[in-house]
Structure formats: structure tokens, C-alpha cells
Amino acid sequence: MSEELRSQAEILAAITEAREGLTTSLADLKATVDQLAARPLLTEEEKQALEEQAESGELGEDMQTLVAKIRGGEETWERVFSGESPHGTLLQGHLTRMFEEHKEDIALAFEELVEQEEAKGNFLLDDVPIRDD
């Protein structure tokens, strides 16, 4: 019977340890998210460069419209990029063009990220279901 009690005690200790580890991990994650949220999405220089490119027409007509709304005080970059803005759709064409232009670099960066995580023992894609089309 003492062996059974010891096993229960060991199980409870393991659960407590796991809970403490999870609590610590969640606190670390929250701190990281808070740090990211506190940083500006774009620096003033980046905003200015983006606005100048968009205003010139280089980024398409939708981006010209969007920058006019931002410079007119009707909208902000933060609201557009966070998805809070009803004008966020004006960004879609530019993002699609950027994706098409850089998709090979994006794929390579993603592969490198997965490899780095796997080297740490984090197998990110092991539980991802594979579609059979």
C-alpha cells in the first residue's frame, strides 16, 4: 500500500511540476507579446518612406487612396495593419504583389526557421495535417 501512496505522491509532484512549468512558460510568452505590442509597428522613417512610395503611385492606386486617408487623419497605419480599419482592404493589392515578388525568399526563410526549431527539438510541423488534393 505504501508503494501505491508513493506512486500517487510522485504523480501529484509531476503534475505540480508540469503546472509550474506551464505557468512559467505562459508568463514568458505574455512578456514577449507585451514587448512586441509596445514597439511601434513602423518607425517614423518607415512610415514616411511607405507614404512617399504610395503617394507617388509606385505601390498602386489603392495605396495612394490609403495614404490620402492616413495623411488626412481619417486613418492610421497601426489600425490598418492591426486589422481594425475598414480601409485595410486597400492594402491587399500591395501585399499580394509583395508576396508574389518575394515568395521564394519567404519560402526559404520559412524552411530555415523550421530547421532552426527542429535543431532545438521543436518539431513544429509534425502535428500539421497533410491535405490530399
HEC sequence for 79-127: HHHHCCCCCHHHHHHHHHHHHHHHHHHHHHHHHHHHHHHHHCCCCCCCC
**CA-closest candidate to residue 81, choices 92, 72, 73:** 92
pLDDT of res. 63: 92
Per residue in 53-111, pLDDT (tens digit) is 999 988 889 999 999 999 999 999 888 888 899 998 898 888 888 889 999 999 999 99
Per residue in 15-56, pLDDT (tens digit) is 888 888 888 888 888 888 888 777 777 888 988 998 999 999
* Residue-range domain boundaries for the chain: 1-39, 44-119
